[in-house]
């Protein structure tokens, strides 16, 4: 994945635990990279290794790290110059979720090797929808939960998410029942 993702993880861990802890995590994952370049693609194994090492060092499950990273991603991209893309993506939470593929297509103009996820919303009402997540990757379900929570914060909504089907459990793709109400 592009270094932007690894940079977000670095910044999140450093903000919460300090630069030394982040260095220990990088050392433990065996990655000999000083700073990640946002616009450079790195093997997915690099990100997976960092998540695993962060989980071990911080003594939380990889799910907890991924979920926190998902929520952090919304704040991080907004301040790293992608705020306009976030704004363009839609004026409401459900509109935003329905525009995610178009948004990643725009992201792909700057990141030519992007392998973006794909999302679909069905059964959309004023207070709930079914959110479908498709990816060439696996293991990122918890990041999607965090992303939805981060978007809830962005739109000042109380969001609850119930997984319905999971690719990890043999389903074709992940689906979530998502409900949202004003805070
Ligand atoms: C302007 C904001 C955003 C930018 C710049 C952005 C950019 C990116 C980039 C660079 C990647 C790495 C993919 C690769 O390198 O192949 C990625 C992956 C991903 N993005 Fe976004 N993204 C944004 C917002 C969002 C939002 C709001 C969601 C909410 C669901 C989202 C969901 C994901 C997921 C789940 C992945 C993991 C890749 C996968 O599942 O295969 N992104 N995005």
The verdict on the CB of residue 5 being under 6 Å from ligand 1 is yes
The verdict on the CB of residue 121 being under 6 Å from ligand 1 is no
What's the mean pLDDT in 140-153? 98
Provide the pLDDT for residue 181.
98
Does the pLDDT of residue 87 top 90, yes or no?
no
How many angstroms is it from 56 CA to the middle of ligand 1? 25
The closest residue, in CA terms, to atom 33 on ligand 1 is: 117
What's the mean pLDDT in 132-153? 98
Instruction: Ligand 1, residue 111: give the atom nearest the CA.
Output: 10
Provide the pLDDT for residue 68.
98
Above pLDDT 70, what percent of the chain?
Answer: 100
What tens digit of pLDDT does each residue of 11-27 get?
Answer: 999 999 999 999 999 99
- Describe the strand order of the beta sheet including 118-122 as a list of residue ranges: 118-122, 128-134, 174-182, 157-165
Does the pLDDT of residue 177 top 90, yes or no?
yes
The verdict on the CB of residue 153 being under 6 Å from ligand 1 is no
Q: What pTM was computed for the model?
A: 0.97
The verdict on the CB of residue 71 being under 6 Å from ligand 1 is no
Provide the pLDDT for residue 8.
98
Provide the pLDDT for residue 88.
84
What tens digit of pLDDT does each residue of 96-127 get?
Answer: 999 999 999 999 999 999 999 999 999 999 99
Provide the pLDDT for residue 90.
84
What tens digit of pLDDT does each residue of 37-66 get?
Answer: 999 999 999 999 999 999 999 999 999 999
The verdict on the CB of residue 159 being under 6 Å from ligand 1 is no
């Amino acid at each position: 994945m592009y270094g932007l993702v690894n940079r977000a993880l670095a910044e999140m861990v450093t903000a919460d635990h300090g630069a030394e802890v982040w260095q220990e995590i990088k050392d433990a994952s065996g990655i000999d990279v000083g700073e990640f370049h946002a616009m450079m693609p790195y093997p997915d194994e690099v990100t997976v290794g960092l998540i695993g090492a962060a989980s071990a060092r911080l003594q939380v499950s990889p799910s907890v790290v991924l979920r926190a990273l998902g929520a952090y991603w919304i704040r991080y991209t907004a301040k790293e110059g992608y705020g306009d893309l976030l704004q363009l993506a839609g004026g409401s939470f459900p509109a935003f979720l329905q525009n995610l593929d178009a948004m990643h297509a725009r992201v792909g103009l700057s990141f030519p090797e992007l392998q973006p996820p794909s999302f679909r919303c069905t059964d959309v009402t004023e207070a709930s929808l079914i959110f479908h997540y498709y990816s060439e990757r696996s293991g990122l379900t918890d990041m999607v939960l965090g992303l939805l929570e981060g978007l809830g914060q962005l739109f000042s909504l109380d969001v609850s998410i119930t997984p319905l089907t999971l690719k990890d459990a043999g389903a074709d793709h992940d689906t979530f029942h998502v409900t949202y109400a004003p805070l």
